[in-house]
Amino acid sequence: MPTALDFRTRPGAPPANFGTNGGTRPPAPAENGFRLLAHLPPGGGWTSLAEHRTRYPAPPAATSRPLTALIDEIERAGLRGRGGAGFPTATKMRSVASGRARPIVVANATEGEPASYKDKLLATVQPHLIIDGALYAAAAVGADQVLIGVDRTAPAAVAALRRALDERARVERSGVTVQVVETPPGYVSGEESALVHFLNGGAALPTASPPRPFERGVAKRPTLVNNVETLAHVAQIATRGATWFRSAGSPDEPGTMLVSVSGAVARAGVAEVALGTPLARIIEQACPTTPAAAALVGGFFGTWVPASGFSAPLSRAGLTPLGAAPGAGVLIVLPEGACGLAETAAVLRWYAAEGAGQCGPCAFGLPALAAEAAALAHGPVPAQGLGRLQRWGGEIEGRGACKHPDGAVRLLRSALRIFAADADAHLHRRPCRGSLGGRVIPVPGPRR
Amino acid sequence: MACESEVLTVDSIACTGHGICAQLLPEWVRLDDWGYPIIRPGAVPATLLPQAKWAITNCPALALHLRKSG
């Protein structure tokens, strides 16, 4: 059973400390079942290509003919994307491989979700595993080019990926061009169509769909966009097989997942857990500082889950009854005494600021929604009570070119459900004590 | 005749909220609090199709479209 690692989650901060006992040595992999985070050098140092190759053979050279056997193996493994949407990876690969032109692979390490740190971490400590995964994916779909998009404000991740590529250029030839592309920070930049638009020389903004990238993406070629954690799993499935992959997790949702845990915990960091691990266990390992009242599961793009739901397993099936999903694997712990409405209002303000500003319902609706939520949290109490919040939510949802406004509405809806008693108190008496203090969720300030 | 139907959609990036669609096709389009169209889901009734096409032609942003479905 993998345990939590002690990582600072502040973006850009180098991972300072590995291990579960305050030491700098990672626990032995055989004991804890780490996969992606196994074999980490002490102190977060560099894993050389030579060392990496002692555990992972070099991927096969890609040809224009898709390696369908590998796609079949990934399908048997039951791998779903780890970037948030959870789409079956093999299905996506098949769509890309069946296109008319030679495909391109895009490895997505943009990780715009503010409370997520796992992709930056993985790129920093296991760049070779990610690159191997991208090369296997290229072989699977018959691509001759890989672009790795990484947030330019994450210098450690950028440097590690560049260094890993330099190292390979000297000793290995894969027949595939691999390049690192630094992307602008921001939540919508990492959205699939926004990333493709940026790689095509445009602004990092979502585009109207269809066509989707798998049909026509970078350079108008079929484009496989995969999260980098997903690609690291691909590399492991390619080397160790579907049966091995399925030995962790549940039959329906196999494998492990990286989880960024933050909020009211003493050991905020990235954990690697088997899918199906109860939320309570993951939170417990991160050492809650006070009893938890709720958690924002899935991060800013997620859903509030009350502490009474913490026995639920971290899986799609396990979280569906709570209206939640694992998303990109983010847990933000809210302590008792904090005000979920005030936290939600702060995140909604971030949503309003992070929008691309392209679609009216999002550009005008989200600021209005955020202001109304702030009024509910801090007063003066909205004249229409919850009415306008609920109506606006229903009207904004589904009307953007991307899912950004939908994320805001889903978060608001879950807050009004989970913190219904608080909302009632705010409306009929006064804002609670928790709304006066500082926020638990670190919301990034405006970037522009 | 085939059971083909047409759905009215808006390109939400192109739309700039002139609101002409809601004036020309009030049976099928209303505006939100910020002046952007909320379009009824589902097939546009045949009787409304000429009006829908008139709205599409007159959209200053060329953001309205009929898409085949079914």
Provide the pairing of β-strand A330-335 with B5-10: unpaired
pLDDT of A15 higher than 50: no
pLDDT of A381 higher than 90: no
Name the residue among A360, A368, A395 with its Cβ closest to that of B12.
A360
pLDDT digits 0-9 by tens, A417-440: 999 999 999 998 777 877 777 788
* CA-closest candidate to residue B67, choices B34, B35, B43: B43
Q: Which residues of A touch B33 (CB under 8 A)?
A: 365, 368, 392, 395
CB atoms within 10 A of CB B29: 21
Residue pair A91/A128 in contact (Cβ under 8 Å)? The answer is no
DSSP B24-65: H-TTTEEE-TTS-EEEPPSBPPGGGHHHHHHHHHH-TT--EE
| Residue A48 near chain B (CB below 8 Å) | no
As a whole-number percent, the residues of chain A with pLDDT over 90 amount to 69
| Residue A202 near chain B (CB below 8 Å) | no
DSSP A273-337: EETT-BHHHHHHHT-BSS-EEEEEETGGGSEEEEGGGTTSBSSHHHHGGGT---TTTEEEEEETT
Residue A359: what residue type?
C
Write the CA distances from A394 to A202, A380, A389, A416, integer angstroms. Answer: 32, 23, 9, 13
pLDDT digits 0-9 by tens, A110-163: 998 999 999 999 999 999 999 999 999 999 999 999 999 999 999 999 999 999
pLDDT of A170 higher than 90: no
Which residues are paired to A265 by β-bridges? A288
pLDDT digits 0-9 by tens, A242-270: 999 999 999 999 999 999 999 999 999 99
| HSE value, Cβ hemisphere, 13 Å, CA-based, for A145 | 16
pTM of the model: 0.86
| Residue A365 near chain B (CB below 8 Å) | yes
What is the structure's pLDDT at A8?
Answer: 34
Q: Which residues of B touch A203 (CB under 8 A)?
A: none
The two three-digit tokens of residue B65, written as one number: 């479209």
Task: State mean pLDDT over A270-299.
Answer: 93
Chain-chain contact of A360 with B11 (C-beta, under 8 angstroms): no
Task: State mean pLDDT over A332-336.
Answer: 94
Q: State the nearest Cα–Cα gap between B28 and chain A, in angstroms.
A: 15
| Residue A399 near chain B (CB below 8 Å) | yes
What is the structure's pLDDT at A27?
Answer: 33
pLDDT of A10 higher than 70: no
Task: State mean pLDDT over A378-398.
Answer: 91
pLDDT of A19 higher than 60: no
pLDDT digits 0-9 by tens, A35-54: 998 887 776 677 889 999 99
What is the ipTM for the molecules in this complex?
0.86
Chain-chain contact of B14 with A208 (C-beta, under 8 angstroms): yes
| Residue B62 near chain A (CB below 8 Å) | no
The two three-digit tokens of residue A185, written as one number: 């920070």
What is the structure's pLDDT at A171?
Answer: 84
pLDDT digits 0-9 by tens, A198-257: 999 888 888 877 788 988 999 899 999 999 999 999 999 999 999 999 999 999 999 999
pLDDT digits 0-9 by tens, A77-89: 999 999 988 999 9
What is the structure's pLDDT at B2?
Answer: 55
* CA-closest candidate to residue A77, choices A228, A224, A226, A248: A248
pLDDT digits 0-9 by tens, A288-309: 989 999 999 998 989 999 999 9
Rg, C-alpha atoms of chain B: 12
What is the structure's pLDDT at B60?
Answer: 96
pLDDT of A23 higher than 50: no
Pick the residue from chain B with its C-alpha nearest to A369. Answer: B33
Pick the residue from chain A with its C-alpha nearest to B38. Answer: A395
Residue pair A417/A360 in contact (Cβ under 8 Å)? The answer is no
What is the structure's pLDDT at A430?
Answer: 73
